[in-house]
Amino acid sequence: MTNRAPHAYDVITMGRVSVDIYPQQTGPLEDVSTFSKSVGGSATNVAIAAARHGADAAVITRTGNDPFGRYIARTLPEFGVANTFVETIEGLNTPVAFCEIFPPDDFPLYFYRAPKAPDLMITAKSLPLHEIERAKIFWTTVTGLSEEPSRQAHHAAFEARSASTSTTKQHTVLDLDYRSMFWSSPAAATREVAIALEHATVAVGNREECEVAVGETDPVRAADALLERGVEIAIVKQGPKGVLAKTRDEFVEFRPHHIDVVNGLGSGDGFGGALTHGLLEGWGLERILAFANAAGAIVATRFECSTAMPTSDEIGAFIRSNPAEGTNHADETNTEEKVDA
C-alpha cells in the first residue's frame, strides 16, 4: 500500500471498483474474439481521470483477496491514484464487468457482482474520516447507497464532511449514477438520494438519473430541483443534446462534440475527472463545462474506460480543433472561452 499523504488529498472518491473485461471488436459478445483487461468502476475511474490532470487522488473501495484484487491494488498507483484506502474482503470475489459495443449509443453492461460486491462492504468504522473531512473534493456515487453496510458508511462520510471545519475542504460531489440492477426499487433510491443531497455541493446526472433523484426529466427543471435541494452546482447531461449546468446565478449549456463514438461507457467518468480539475483550479462555470464536455467526448472515441482518460493537454488540443457550441444564458450571449489547459 502507498503511504498516507502528509497533506490533504485533492480528490478522494468512494465506491465501486471492478476489472473491466471489454471487447476489442463491436457486436454481440458471442462473436467477439479478443478482450482487454483494465481497472473499472465509476468512482475508481473518476479518481484515475482526476489524476490524469495532476490531482493527488485516492479511492476508498474494497476488493476480493484474489488475483483481480491484487491487479487493482498494483495498477492504481501506476495511474497516480493512492491505494491506501483499498482493502480486501475475505470470501468475496473482485467484481468483473463486460460490455457489448454497438455504436453510436448502445453499450449493454453485464456486472458480475454476486453474491455481493466487496465495495458494498465498506463500513463506517473503516472510513478514513480525517482524510475525508479535509480532502479538497470528496466524490461519491448513488450506487454506494444501495446496500448495507456501504449505505451507512456513506452517510457517516457525508455527516463528517458536512461537520468538517477544514480550510482545505472545497466541494462534496454526488454522482447520481443510478443503475436499477443495484436497487430494490427506484423509490428506495429516491429516499437515499434525498438524504445524500443534503450534504452535496455539486450534483451530476443524466435525465433518467435526475428523475430518480428529484422527479424531473426536463433538464432545466431537474437542475432547478437539485438547486432547491441545496447544491451549489447542478449538472444535467442530455446525451445527444449536450449538457447544461446551473448555479443560482448562472446557466451554461453546451452542445455535444461531433465525434465517431467507439464506446460511450467511460464518458461520464472522464467528464467527472475533468470537472474536479476545473473545480480545483477555480475556473468559471462555462470553462469547467467546456473542459468536461470535451473530456467525455474524447473517452467516447476509445475502447476502454480507465486507460482512455485524457490529459489536460489532450483536452485543450481537442477543444481547439473541435469547438462545441456553448451558450451562457446569464446574458444570452455566446461567450465560450478557449480552454488552454
How many C-beta atoms surround the C-beta of residue 337 within 10 A? Answer: 14
pLDDT of residue 6: 65
Mean local confidence (pLDDT), 306-322: 96
Peptide bond into 256 cis (omega under 30): no
**Global pTM?**
0.93
- pLDDT, one tens digit per residue, over 80-109 is 999 999 999 999 999 999 999 998 889 999
339 confidence band (pLDDT: 50, 70, 90)? very low
pLDDT for 332 beyond 90: no
Mean local confidence (pLDDT), 256-282: 95
2 confidence band (pLDDT: 50, 70, 90)? very low
For cell 469547467, what's the residue?
Answer: 288
pLDDT of residue 328: 81
Phi, psi of 174 (to 5 degrees): -110, 115
pLDDT of residue 324: 76
pLDDT of residue 327: 78
pLDDT for 292 beyond 70: yes
CA dist 139 → 187, 208, 233 (Å): 23, 20, 14
5 confidence band (pLDDT: 50, 70, 90)? low
Q: Which CATH architecture has domain 11-328?
A: 3-Layer(aba) Sandwich (3.40)
Peptide bond into 115 cis (omega under 30): yes
326 confidence band (pLDDT: 50, 70, 90)? confident
pLDDT of residue 337: 38
pLDDT of residue 30: 96
Give Cα 259 distance to the centre of its chain: 21
Mean local confidence (pLDDT), 133-160: 98
Mean local confidence (pLDDT), 212-241: 96
pLDDT for 225 beyond 50: yes
Average pLDDT, the chain: 93
pLDDT for 18 beyond 50: yes
CA dist 198 → 62, 229, 247, 280 (Å): 26, 7, 16, 22
Q: At what angle do helices 267-281 and 42-52 cross, to 10 degrees?
A: 50
- pLDDT, one tens digit per residue, over 157-213 is 999 999 999 999 999 999 999 999 999 999 999 999 999 999 999 999 999 999 999
